[in-house]
Structure 1
Amino acid sequence: MRRALTILLAFLILAGLLVWSLAPRPVTVQVASITRGPFEQTIDEEGKTRVRERYVVSAPLAGRVARSGYKPGDTVAAGQALAVLTPLAPALIDARTQQQLAERVGGAEAARARAQAGMARAQAALRKSESDLARVQKLSKEGFLSPAQLEQADLDLQLARRDLDATRQAVHVADHDLATARAALQLSRGGTPGETWTVRAPVAGTVLKVLQESEGSVILGTPLVELGNPSDIEIVANVLSADAVRIQPGSAVRIERWGGPRSLPGRVRRVEPSAFTKVSALGVEEQRVNLVIDLVSAADESNGLRDGFRVEVRVVVRSEADALRVPVGALFRQGEDWAVYVVDGGRARLRAVRPGLRNAREAMVLQGLKAGETVVLYPPDTLADGVRVRASAEPRPTN
């Protein structure tokens, strides 16, 4: 009797092990929690920094330039000598070169007039920004406007001041170029043989590039040195033309992956009016448009950025203060509709949803989900309605 019971028990254990081995295992999946909070629809692209105002100092006349003693990164003051040029003797300057020098004077006069007009526009824009800020401050104190509108008005004033500073520099450079062009024309008509010409910096700044480092002969207009302020930078990013129509000057931007611990705020200053063709990494021709973006953070927050650095920009085209958010990795097509797998009681339940706005990471949920529910990320093909699942990690929020 005891032997029969032992055999029966062994048989039951073997049968149980067989059933357990053949039973379907829970599918291991990644999960995320559905949360409620602010949502932004963004256009994400790569961008590159550049010095906002750069000045190329060129040879005012033909001659022989001495070897430059400057290196990139050197600081120069306005009027400081950048290069020494030994012009050609007046007898060696032909009528064509004389005409070019005369036309350069005319071009410098036109450039100065254009710079002065730009400064007048910048001054008018600054006065308008100051007036707008005073009006917004008054209405904000009375509770008619939100803090965001006050912040926007203050930002517009800061950008207007920067534009005015830039146009003042442009006027100073134009005056310098005009004086140099007139002096070069006068020298070509009656200079002393062997007389040297000192090429001076039109503005104070930092040497960005030395374009003519060695001694040698140069022609009229040869670039010698490039100057700029490496801490006064802007960002240029190109976006698809289909995305550019949704971006307006003043749109908020977040600059990420620039090397700092957190993202930097920015603002679109200009959407260039003309698109260009660019071939993507996949060999597809795309029509793209350049965005010019200003940094609006404090200088000490972004002082690590310099000319030509790579960054990532997120341009905000729409935002919602309170939205139900789901990771885009949880969404998939179910026929003509969208669906997700919701984890309920350790099993995956197929559920139809209606998403709204979306960005690269998450989407708004208009119907089908509730805050606090857990969904499966990147559901595998083996997953089906009712299949048991096991989370590979704790549910993580969508933000």
Structure 2
Amino acid sequence: MKSWWRRILPIGLGIGLLALIVWAYLPKPVPVDAVSVERGPMTVAVSEDGKTRIKERFLVSTPLSGRVRRIELDPGDPVSATETLLATILPSDPDLLNPRALAEARARVNAADSAVKRAEATLAAAEAEQENAEAHHERVRRLHERDAATDDQLEEAMLEMRTARERYRSAAFAVEIARFEFDQSEAALLRSSPEGQNEETDWAFEIISPIDGVVLRVLQESSAVLSPGTPLLELGDPRNLELEVDVLSTDAVKIEPGARVFVNHWGGERPLEGTVRLVEPAAFTKISALGVEEQRVYVIADLNTSAAEAARLGDGFRFEAEIVVWEGGDVLQVPASALFRVGEEWAVFVIEDGRAQLREVELGHRNPSTAEVLEGLSARERVIIYPSDRVVDGVEVTVR
């Protein structure tokens, strides 16, 4: 009896070991992740970074040359149209004179002063001659009325009176010229040396704010002598914002004015909405982070949000935009993670009777997460997402 057990025991152990080996090499179901094909709303959008910008910006510059006083405004300060003083322009200082030029200028002032006095003396003499000629003419005229003076004497007296009057007028003009020359020579001494510098002036040009808004940037803060057209400040109204998004030119052709825009990651609790107003007709070249030249186009959109939410945004704030180029309400769609290429066609693995079945599909619109299915699938069919290289047509699978 014992010998019989000794014979059967090794045989049983060998059969069990062989069964274990066969079982180990039998194909096992491949664990996979699966989702159902569903119908529902679908949106295709162009996603790019963008920034806010003020619609109307005003660059205030100097209309004429002169010395601009220090600008006391800071970015963010409110300004009112026709009320807020932005900058004051004073006349430029003349060149400083060296001692020799200063002495010559003072000598010219003294000479001009003497010329004025001489012209005034000449004027006084001309005035006396005029009065004497007028009195002589009056006497001759009375004598002529009594036939005590001839016509020639009357005409001679009248000629002397007119000549005296013209001499007086000439002397008066000479006085005015002498005074102008005196003022001109005296003006050469104004601010001609470091002593006696005075900020006060009888003339100044004031630049007043043209709009209601705030100061965006102060481009010239310190006092300086500037030429015409030098930028001083940039003004704008932060309540009047628009959205600026640069997209690839291949995406720009899909965007139409009136398209919806979703503003994400702008810092608020929920996304904001906007509407495309303009797709600019000209593209520009931009170098990407990878060093690739790209042709990009600016898309301009208006915000459709409350004033309270818009007030939290400012000029040049960054956000992530989604510009809707297509949307459907009842679309049969499959996750993009289930799709892969088979030759030139798209395909998925469909789970049927516990096995993966390869099936080609025809796609319509696509976005980063889903794709519209035109043919090849029906609603509630289960497809494998992220299929590994172990998943092949006909293999047994089990859903994790």
Q: TM-score, normalised by structure 2?
A: 0.64
Residues 16-55 of structure 1 aligned to structure 2 (within 5 Å):
16-24=19-27, 26-55=29-58
**8 Å CA contact retained: 1:75, 1:207:** yes
Cα distance change of structure 1 residues 216 and 29 upon mapping to structure 2, 3 Å threshold = farther
Cα distance change of structure 1 residues 38 and 195 upon mapping to structure 2, 3 Å threshold = same
Residues 35-114 of structure 1 aligned to structure 2 (within 5 Å):
35-78=38-81, 79-88=83-92
Q: Deviations over 1:43-87 (max 9, x none)?
A: 222222112222222222222223333322222222212223323
**8 Å CA contact retained: 1:89, 1:194:** no
Residues 1-399 of structure 1 aligned to structure 2 (within 5 Å):
11=14, 14-24=17-27, 26-78=29-81, 79-88=83-92, 195-391=203-399
Q: Distance in 2 between matches of 1:229 and 1:16?
A: 84
Matched residue type, 1:86: L
Q: Distance in 1 between matches of 2:309 and 2:36?
A: 33
Q: Distance in 2 between matches of 1:6 and 1:260?
A: 77
Q: Distance in 2 between matches of 1:22 and 1:300?
A: 68
Cα distance change of structure 1 residues 243 and 5 upon mapping to structure 2, 3 Å threshold = same
**8 Å CA contact retained: 1:251, 1:317:** yes
**8 Å CA contact retained: 1:33, 1:375:** yes
Q: Distance in 2 between matches of 1:17 and 1:302?
A: 71
Matched residue type, 1:349: Q
**8 Å CA contact retained: 1:65, 1:83:** yes
Q: Distance in 2 between matches of 1:382 and 1:302?
A: 53
Q: Distance in 2 between matches of 1:29 and 1:74?
A: 62
Q: Distance in 2 between matches of 1:306 and 1:13?
A: 78
Matched residue type, 2:67: R
Matched residue type, 1:40: T
Q: Deviations over 1:11-40 (max 9, x none)?
A: 565445434544445545443332211222
Cα distance change of structure 1 residues 242 and 6 upon mapping to structure 2, 3 Å threshold = same
Q: Distance in 1 between matches of 2:16 and 2:231?
A: 89
**8 Å CA contact retained: 1:87, 1:194:** no
Return 297-306 or 326-335, whichever deviates more.
Answer: 297-306
User: Per-residue deviation at 1:256?
Assistant: 2.3
Q: Which structure has the bigger radius of gyration?
A: 2
Q: Distance in 2 between matches of 1:223 and 1:348?
A: 70
User: Per-residue deviation at 1:273?
Assistant: 1.6
Cα distance change of structure 1 residues 71 and 385 upon mapping to structure 2, 3 Å threshold = same
Cα distance change of structure 1 residues 60 and 352 upon mapping to structure 2, 3 Å threshold = same
Identity level (%): 48
Cα distance change of structure 1 residues 197 and 362 upon mapping to structure 2, 3 Å threshold = same
User: Per-residue deviation at 1:339?
Assistant: 0.6
SS at match of 1:300: helix
Cα distance change of structure 1 residues 279 and 335 upon mapping to structure 2, 3 Å threshold = same
Cα distance change of structure 1 residues 38 and 65 upon mapping to structure 2, 3 Å threshold = same
Matched residue type, 2:387: P
